[in-house]
A and B are shown apart, each in its own frame.
Chain A
Amino acid sequence: MENKQLVQILNLDGSLSNGNIVINEKLAIEMYKLLVINRVFDRKLVNMQRKGQIGTYASFEGQEASQVGSAMSLLEQDWMFPTYRDHAAMLTFGYEMVKIIWYWMGRIEGCIPPNHRNILPPYVPIATQIPQATGAAWASKYKNHDACSLVYFGDGATSEGDFHEGLNMASVFKAPVVFFCQNNGYAISVPYSRQTASETIAQKAIAYGMDNVRIDGNDVFAVYLTTKNALEAARSGKGPTLIEAVTYRYGPHTTADDASRYRSTEEGEAWKSRDPILRLEAYLSRQGLLNQDEQGSVYREAELLVNDGIKYALSIPKADPNIMFENVLSEKPWNVQEQESNFNRFMQRSSSIEFTEG
């Protein structure tokens, strides 16, 4: 981790860096439960990939505090623009667990946002969600609607043109958007030093005339409070903020990658001493809010919840291939109609045809 000053509230030993900060007990417990659920979820999905139950999967283990803490600070009416590694953020804000599993099973059902929540499906091409989050936030402002956008991206995304265009536009039009960068040090294999010569990502905001904060992304309190402040500023018309949350992904880029080719074991081990869950556990036990039994039951409940989600996800009927013809445009044009009916005749004639889904 770079030495540049980080906002940190929760020390590694579970004490608070500032005696004046009061953390609501219920909130702290809720954070802990969400961190645990997401870690259990992530590990189980890695296992599902190994068993061939899902396709390639992008693990977020190590980054739970960044995602859970930031998503917890949203209000119901807000907009979330996640990437393919932000499942903990999505789950926290109300995206159904089963849909995230379906997403990695290659199912369109995994892309359909929940009712009553504006959570976009995961963005795959890097940084492309950033200008869209600006636009959605700008529209909220245009409509005098009290909603903000929270958009996630990584350190690699800051090298893309869309990062620049999205932040620049947001600052010019004072769009109520919070740009949340999880700087985990690597874009697949390419390290931070090859991504940018800027000492920090946060400082890039200065060029846009934008507020910025650099935080310990493994400190769920710092993440939550910083994001909450940034959202409040956005909501009150003060414009966007760039948050750089410094964190680390424990696993490879995806299950198709081998991180040992470009990262040392020692580096990974060093980061585990900063683990977001261990730190919160230390805090909670210091406060007398969590004993060994309670900790065990949080994990057991998380197991049950995730197992239920997986069971339900796997019970989905086989995908209907005809869904590919749906909702491309508001009305099916003649060419697609013809192609679909021809496909249907082919399928009837060849009723034995069945391709594997995985």
Chain B
Amino acid sequence: MQRELNLVQALNEALDLLLTDDDKVLLLGQDIGKNGGVFRVTENLFNKFGDRRVVDTPLSEAGIVGCGIGMALNGLKPIAEIEFFGFIYPALEQILSHLSRLRMRTQGKYKVPLIIRAPYGAGVRAPELHSESIEALLFQSPGLKVVIPSNSYDAKGLLIAASESEDPVIFLEPMKIYRSIRHHVPEHRYTVPLGKANVLKEGSDITVISWGSMIWNVAHAAEQLEKSHGISLEIVDLRTLYPFDIETIQESIRKTRRAVIVHEAPLTGGVGAELVAVIQERMFSELRSPIKRITGFDVPVPQFSIEDYYLPSAERIVYEIEKMLVSLVR
């Protein structure tokens, strides 16, 4: 039987391999050592590699990222963990003013191959401000790659690919599916290329582009729509948000001629807005209907008692797609 791992296990295995294979790799973050990370992604790595390689840092986001940049300038390949994506703000100046620009400013004399990992998104009943999805902020900052896996196979392969890249990578881990989704993950070292989307499910009627934990809401919606209306969705898992894979998107829409984008971040100014713009610029005449966005609302992520209503659930995705089709029939 093939071995199945959840996301946490797959990421742990990827970090273990990276630490084993290259002494230049080290981990920085809060509670990642003895505690193994608040989500246990770094479990046992402290025991195995010691506190030179797996470093519990002060509670200091700008310090962690700033030190990570300095280490990367000086030839190391640090992997920093920000405990929750919503706590990254003190480090944004480091990220936006330096991490994303030092390669350009020095015309390649310095490379800054820092990876910043962070648990991302809503849906785990976390206290407020733990559930942010501000990927659009980093998506609009040239000089960074932004990666969000939706499953354990990709999580391992993308993290290893990120470490092999010369570029800074923001690696966002959807915490809602840290343990709930299991897939086959080979034990050996492999990569999933950055910048390549994955067609998770082939279909003929509508292309749905999504990422992170929303992929699984889309998959449930696809089952329901297939059953109730015989509508066939093609699901494109973007995996890398920047730079995103325009070819796979176009190829899919050329076939379905309809597109829907699902993300949990707010609607206005979200990554979905950019996808809509690019798709219509290139494929206006091939589209059979306006492109639909199904997203979080333009409000702060609410307290957890109502977070499920904020997120685009499978039910809401079904409802919105049905509405879209009805308006077309009329």
A-to-B contact residues, CB < 8 Å = 79, 108, 111-113, 118, 120-121, 124-125, 128, 130-140, 142-143, 147, 149, 161-162, 165-166, 168-169, 172-173, 323, 326-330, 333-336
- B55 contact set on A, CB distance < 8 A: 173
State which of A113, A162, A326 has its C-beta within 8 Å of the C-beta of B93.
A162
1/0 contact string of B96-115 vs chain A (CB within 8 Å): 01100011111111110000
Q: By the criterion CB–CB under 8 Å, are B60 and A168 in contact?
A: yes
Please determine whether B76 and A139 come into contact, CB atoms closer than 8 angstroms: yes
| Contact A125-B97, Cβ < 8 Å, known A135-B66, A327-B108, A333-B195 | yes
Tell me whether A137 and B70 are in contact (CB under 8 A).
yes
**B73 engages A120 (CB within 8 Å):** yes
- Contact pick for B74, options A131, A136, A328, A335, CB 8 Å: A136
In the complex, B198 has a CB within 8 A of chain A: no
Distance between Cα atoms of A157 and B310 in the complex (Å): 41
Contact B111 A330 (CB under 8 A): yes
Bound complex: CA of A173 vs CA of B69, how far in Å?
Answer: 16
Inter-chain contact A125/B93, CB cutoff 8 Å: yes
A326: chain B residues at CB < 8 Å are: 104, 107
Q: Does B26 contact A (CB under 8 A)?
A: yes
B52 close to chain A: CB less than 8 A: yes
Q: B57 contacts the other chain (Cβ, under 8 Å)?
A: yes
Chain B residue with the shortest CB-CB distance to A324: B104
Contacts of B109 in A (CB 8 A): 112-113
B243 A139 Cβ-Cβ under 8 A? no
Is B68's CB under 8 angstroms from A112's CB?
no
CB of A20 to closest CB in B, whole Å: 38
Chain A residue with the shortest CB-CB distance to B73: A136
Q: Is the CB of A131 within 8 A of B70?
A: yes
Are the C-beta atoms of B103 and A329 separated by less than 8 Å? yes
Q: Say if the beta carbon of B58 comes within 8 Å of chain A.
A: yes
Q: Does B161 contact A (CB under 8 A)?
A: no
Complex alpha-carbon distance, A327 and B102, angstroms: 9
Q: Which residues of A have CB within 8 Å of B110?
A: 113, 120
Closest residue of B by beta carbon distance from A334: B246
Q: How far is the CB of A290 from chain B (nearest CB, A)?
A: 39
For the complex formed, measure the closest distance between the CB of A136 and the CB atoms of chain B, giving whole angstroms: 4
Cβ < 8 Å to A, chain B residues 24-58? 26, 52, 55, 57-58
Which of B66, B103, B110: most chain A Cβ within 10 A? B66
| CB neighbours of B57 from chain A (8 A) | 169, 172
Contact with A along B263-287 (1 / 0, CB 8 A): 0000000000000000000000000
A to B CB contacts below 8 Å, 13 in the list: A131-B69, A135-B69, A135-B71, A135-B73, A139-B71, A165-B58, A165-B66, A169-B66, A327-B104, A329-B243, A330-B166, A330-B167, A333-B242
Give the shortest distance, in Å, between A32 (CB) and chain B (any CB).
32
- Asked if B74 and A168 make an inter-chain contact with CB atoms under 8 angstroms apart, the answer reads no
Q: Tell me if B130 is interfacial: C-beta within 8 Å of chain A.
A: no
B242 (CB) vs chain A CBs: closest residue? A333
How far is A137 from B71 in the complex, measured between Cα atoms in Å? 8
Residue of A132, A142, A329 touching B73 (CB-CB under 8 A): A132
- A336 neighbours in B (Cβ, 8 Å): 142
Q: Which residues of B contact A329 (CB under 8 A)?
A: 103, 142-143, 145, 167, 243
Interface of A is mostly: helix
CA separation between A112 and B143, bound complex, in Å? Answer: 17
Nearest Cβ distance between residue A345 and chain B, in whole angstroms? 16
Cross-interface CB contact of B60 among A112, A118, A169, cutoff 8 Å:
A169
Assess whether B62 is interfacial by the CB under 8 Å rule. Answer: yes
Set of chain A residues within 8 Å of B165, measured between Cβ atoms = 330
Interface residues of B in 66-104 (CB under 8 A from A): 66-76, 78, 90, 93-94, 97-98, 102-104
Q: Report the separation of the CA atoms of residues A131 and B57 in the bound assembly, to the nearest whole angstrom.
A: 13
* Nearest CB of A to B103, in Å: 5
Known: A327-B103, A327-B107. A168 touches B70 (CB 8 A): no
Are A108 and B107 touching (Cβ within 8 A)? yes
| Most central of B74, B93, B94, B103 by chain A CB within 10 Å | B74
Contact across chains for B58 and A172 when beta carbons are under 8 A apart = yes
Structural contact, A131 and B66, CB atoms closer than 8 A:
yes
State whether the Cβ of B302 lies closer than 8 Å to any Cβ in chain A: no
Question: A128-B93, A168-B63, A169-B60 are known contacts. Are A140 and B74 too (CB-CB below 8 A)?
Answer: yes
Nearest to B68 among chain A residues (CB) is A135
Asked whether, in the complex, the Cβ of B67 is within 8 Å of the Cβ of A138, the reply is yes
Of listed A125, A328, A336, residue having the most chain B CB within 10 A: A328
Q: Which of the residues B75, B104, B106, B167 comes within 8 Å of A143, measured between beta carbons?
A: B75
B67 adjacent to A328 (CB under 8 Å):
no
Give the chain B neighbours of A112 by CB distance below 8 A.
106-107, 109
CA distance A124 to B105 in the complex (A): 12
Q: Are B243 and A130 in contact (CB under 8 A)?
A: no
Q: How far is the CA of A120 from the CA of B102 in the complex (A)?
A: 9
- List the 9 closest A-B pairs by CB distance, nearest first: A135-B70, A131-B66, A135-B67, A165-B63, A333-B243, A139-B74, A136-B70, A132-B70, A139-B71
Separation of A169 and B56 alpha carbons in the complex (Å): 11
Cα of A194 to Cα of B93 in the assembled complex, Å:
24
Residue of B nearest to A79 (CB): B74
A136 to B58, CA, bound (A): 17
In the complex, the chain B residue whose C-beta lies closest to that of A122 is B105
In the bound complex, residues from chain A placing their C-beta under 8 Å from that of B73 are 118, 120, 132, 135-136, 139
A323 to B108, CA, bound (A): 12
User: CA–CA, A108 to B69, complex, Å?
Assistant: 21
* CB-nearest residue of chain A to B101: A328
A120–chain B nearest beta-carbon distance, Å: 7
Shortest beta-carbon distance from A18 to chain B in Å:
36
Residue of B nearest to A113 (CB): B109
